[in-house]
Amino acid sequence: MKKTLTALVAAALTLTTAPAFAELVVPNLSYRTGPYAANGIPYADGFNDYFTLLNERDGGIGGEKVANPECETAYNTEKGVECYESTKGNGALAYNPLSTGITYQLIPKVTADGITLYTPGYGRTSAANGKVFEWVFNFPANYWDGASVAMKYILDQEGGDIKGKKIALIYHNSAYGKEPIRTLEELAKKHGFELSTIPVDHPGQEQKSQWLQIRRDKPDYVLMWGWGVMNQVAIQEAVNIRFPMDHFIGVWWSGSENDVAPAGDKANGYKALSFHGTGMDYPVYADLKQYVIDAGKASGAGDQVGTMLYSRGMYAAMIISEAIRKAQEMSGKSNVNAAEVRDGFENLDLTEARLEELGLPNFAQPIKASCDNHGGPGSAKVFQWDAAAKKWTEASDWIESDKDVLGPLIAEDSAAFAKENNITERCN
C-alpha cells in the first residue's frame, strides 16, 4: 500500500511540473475552504484579478506576463508549508500568504531561500524594522499601528480624555489576535483606560460566554481582532446583547461585507479600520470590467468585486506589481529575479501621482520604503457600515499611529528576534 502510494505520488508529481508559460511568478497562497473562506475568497479574487488586468491590458509588467499559481492553504500552517515548498521552485518572486501563522513559519524560510515575503497589515509586526528583517515587508500598516489608530479614534470620539474608560479587546486566540495586546497595554498606561482581553478559540463559532462577559462588564468600547467565521458570530452576538454598534470597532481584518451581512440591518453602524479605500468608484474598475470581468476572466465566482477584502487583495497585488516594476527599472531588464524584486520593494516609492496613474486616486497612503523602514506610514481610516446602502462609508480621515509608543516596542521585539537568530543589523 505504502509503496504503491509513493509510486503514485511520484507519478503525479512528474505530471505536475507545469510548463513555464510566464516569466514572473507570484504564487497566491489562498484559502477558499474552511472557516476562514468567507474572508479568504474575496482577497484571493482581488489579488488574481489585478494581475489578470495587468496581463490583459498591458501584456504583464514591463512586457513580462505574470503567473499566479494558486495553492489552497485552508489557513492551516501544515498546508501552508506544503504550498510554499511546492511553489517556490518555479521561480517565485514574492509570497503573500494572508495568514499570520504561516508568516511566522515562512520568515526563516524566505530568509534562507532569498524570496520576499510581503504581509500588508498582518504577519510579524516587528518586521517593520528592515534592519533585522531583510526579506520581510509589511507596509503600509501593521497590527500595532491598527491598535494605536483605533485608540486614537476613540480618544477623538471621547474628546481627548479616556481616563477610567473600560475598553475590551475580543481576539482570535492565536498569534494574530495576541499581537495588539502589548501595544494596548502600553496605551492603557499612557491614556489611563482599563483594558480587558477576551480570547476566542479557533474557529470562533461559539462566543456566548465571551459576550456574556462583555454584557456583564459593560465596556465603553469593544475592539475586535477577529478573522473568518469569528467576525460574523461576534457581530451577531453583539447585536444579540444590544451592544451599541458604533462603539464596536474591528481591525481591518474584521470589516468585510461578508462579516456584517449575517446580522442584517442590526449591524448598521459597526466600524472597522482599513488602510485603503473600497467600493467601485475608482477609474481602475472601468478597465477591470472591460478586460477581466466582461471578458469572463474574473477569478472565483466574480461576485466579490469592489468589496473591502477584494480591494485589499488588489492593493497587495498592486504593491507587488509596483515593486516588480521598480526592480525592472533598477536592474534594467524585464526578467527580474527574486533578489532584484526584494530591492524593488526596498526602494519602492509609491506617490499620490503614481496611484492616480494606476487608476486608484486617494486609494491608499503614499509609501516610501527604505533599507530600515519596511513598515510604511502606518495610518488607517475608520469605516462605518451602512446596512441600508450595504456599503462602507468613511467615518474618519487618515489617522496616524502613535510612533512614540510603537517605535520602542518594535525595536525591542526585533532585537529579541535578532538575538535569537544571530542576525547583525543592516543599514548602518
Partner 1 sequence: MFYREAGDFKTSYGEDSQTFPIKFDRLRYFAVLAIAFGVVPLFINDYWANAVAVPFLIYAIAAIGLNILVGYAGQVSLGTGGFMAVGAYAVYKLMTAFPEVSIFIHVILAGGITAAVGVLFGLPSLRIKGFYLAVATLAAQFFLVWLFNKVPWFYNYSASGQINAPDRTIFGVFVTGAQTSAMAKYLFCLVMLTLVALVARNLTRGTVGRKWMAIRDMDIAAEIIGVNPLTTKLSAFAVSSFFIGIAGALFFAVYLGAAEVGEAFGIQKSFLILFMVIIGGLGSIFGSFAGAAFLVLLPVFLKNVLVGTLGWPTDLAAHIELMIVGGLIVVFLIAEPHGLAQLWRVAKEKLRLWPFPH
CA distances from 31 to 36, 52, 83, 378 (A): 7, 19, 11, 26
CA distances from 407 to 229, 375, 379, 416 (A): 33, 11, 14, 14
Q: Cβ 316 to partner 1, closest distance in Å? A: 18
Query: Considering the rule CB under 8 A, would residue 424 count as an interface residue with partner 1?
Result: no
Query: Considering the rule CB under 8 A, would residue 76 count as an interface residue with partner 1?
Result: yes
Query: Considering the rule CB under 8 A, would residue 297 count as an interface residue with partner 1?
Result: no
Among 56, 58, 65, 86, the residue binding partner 1 under the rule CB under 8 A is 86
Q: Which stretch binds partner 1 (CB under 8 A): 7-15, 277-285, 326-334, 380-388?
A: 7-15
Q: Cβ 120 to partner 1, closest distance in Å? A: 18
Query: Considering the rule CB under 8 A, would residue 1 count as an interface residue with partner 1?
Result: yes
Q: Rounded to whole angstroms, how far apart are CA atoms 222 and 214?
A: 8
Q: Which stretch binds partner 1 (CB under 8 A): 3-11, 188-196, 220-228, 330-338?
A: 3-11
Report the residue number, 335 or 421, with the smaller CB distance to partner 1: 421
Q: Rounded to whole angstroms, how far apart are CA atoms 238 and 271?
A: 13
Q: What contacts 64, CB < 8 A, 6 or more positions away?
A: 22, 23, 24, 334, 335
Report the residue number, 200 or 224, with the smaller CB distance to partner 1: 200
Report the residue number, 33 or 347, with the smaller CB distance to partner 1: 33
Among 32, 166, 266, 391, the residue binding partner 1 under the rule CB under 8 A is 32
Q: Rounded to whole angstroms, how far apart are CA atoms 261 and 323?
A: 35
Q: Which stretch binds partner 1 (CB under 8 A): 59-67, 104-112, 302-310, 315-323?
A: 104-112
Q: Cβ 263 to partner 1, closest distance in Å? A: 25
Q: Cβ 402 to partner 1, closest distance in Å? A: 17
Among positions 37-56, residues that touch partner 1 (CB under 8 A) are 37, 41
Query: Considering the rule CB under 8 A, would residue 322 count as an interface residue with partner 1?
Result: no
Report the residue number, 86 or 331, with the smaller CB distance to partner 1: 86
Among positions 154-193, residues that touch partner 1 (CB under 8 A) are 173-176, 178-179, 181-182
Report the residue number, 9 or 353, with the smaller CB distance to partner 1: 9
Among 55, 68, 119, 125, the residue binding partner 1 under the rule CB under 8 A is 125
Query: Considering the rule CB under 8 A, would residue 74 count as an interface residue with partner 1?
Result: yes
Query: Considering the rule CB under 8 A, would residue 215 count as an interface residue with partner 1?
Result: no
Among positions 395-414, residues that touch partner 1 (CB under 8 A) are 413
Q: Rounded to whole angstroms, how far apart are CA atoms 95 and 29?
A: 8
Among 23, 30, 97, 378, the residue binding partner 1 under the rule CB under 8 A is 30
Residues binding partner 1: number (CB under 8 A): 58
Report the residue number, 8 or 353, with the smaller CB distance to partner 1: 8
Query: Considering the rule CB under 8 A, would residue 5 count as an interface residue with partner 1?
Result: yes
Q: To which residue does cell 477558499 refer? A: 32
Q: Rounded to whole angstroms, how far apart are CA atoms 148 and 163?
A: 16
Query: Considering the rule CB under 8 A, would residue 206 count as an interface residue with partner 1?
Result: no
Among 81, 188, 415, 418, the residue binding partner 1 under the rule CB under 8 A is 81
The contact set with partner 1 (CB under 8 A) reads 1-2, 5-6, 8-9, 12-13, 15-16, 18, 30, 32-33, 37, 41, 70-72, 74, 76-78, 81-82, 85-86, 88-89, 100-101, 104-105, 107-109, 111-112, 124-126, 173-176, 178-179, 181-182, 199, 201-202, 300, 413, 416, 420-422
